[in-house]
Amino acid sequence: MLKPILLVEDNPNDLELSLAALAKSGLANDVVVTRDGAEARDYLYATGAFADRAPGLPAVVLLDLKLPKVDGLELLSMIRNTPGTERLPVVILTSSREEADVAAGYQLGSNAYVVKPVEFSAFFKAIQDLGIFWAVLNEPPPTFRGNPTNGQ
C-alpha cells in the first residue's frame, strides 16, 4: 500500500498548482491536503477531524512555513520531538528565503528546504521532482514504521 503525501499549504494558488504538478507527475500516491498547522497536526496524530483515518504516516510532508494556527516551524518541532514521527521525512516548501527561516528549518530537523520558484513552470517542475523523489526514490530508514500510535 502506497503512503500518501501530506501537503500543508494555506495559499489557494500554490495549493492548486502543487496538486496539478503532483497529479501530472504520475504518482499513484494519494495527496492529503491540510490548510494550517493545527489541521496537519490532527492528521499526523489521528486526532480531531482525522481521528478515524486509516493508521500510518505519509511518505513525506511538504510543509509551508507561514501557516495559520500552528506555524510550520512549530509543527516541524512537534514532529521531531514526538516518538513515532521523529524520522518522518519533512520538506519545507516555502516562499521564504529568510536566512533565519532556512537556519531554523534545518536546526529543527527538516530533510530539505525548498524555496518556491516564482516562475510558473519552475514551480511546477520543483513540485513534480519533490513528489517523485520523496514518494518513490527515497529509501526511508529501516526503523521508520510510519505510525506514531502502534509502530506500524
Q: What is the pLDDT of residue 25?
A: 83
- pLDDT band with cut points at 50, 70 and 90 for residue 1: confident
Kindly report the backbone phi and psi dihedral angles of residue 125, in degrees, each rounded to the nearest multiple of 5, phi listed first: -65, -40
CATH number of residue 109's parent domain: 3.40.50.2300
Q: What is the mean pLDDT of the chain?
A: 86
- pLDDT band with cut points at 50, 70 and 90 for residue 135: low
Q: What is the pLDDT of residue 122?
A: 79
Kindly report the backbone phi and psi dihedral angles of residue 87, in degrees, each rounded to the nearest multiple of 5, phi listed first: -105, 5
- Residue 141: inside a domain: no
pLDDT in tens, 56-82: 999 999 999 999 999 999 999 999 999
Residue that wins the pLDDT comparison between 124 and 21: 21
- Residue 97: inside a domain: yes
- pLDDT band with cut points at 50, 70 and 90 for residue 140: low
Per the structure, how many domains does the chain have?
1
Q: Which residues lie below 8 Å from residue 94, measured CB to CB, with a gap of 6+?
A: 63, 64, 65, 66, 72, 101, 113, 114, 115, 116
Range of the domain at 132: 5-136
- Residue 57: inside a domain: yes
pLDDT in tens, 23-59: 888 888 899 999 999 999 999 999 999 999 999 999 9
Distance CA 26, CA 52 (A): 28
Task: For the chain, give the percent of residues with pLDDT over 90.
Answer: 56
Give the strands of the sheet with 31-34, arranged side by side. 31-34, 5-8, 60-63, 90-94, 112-115
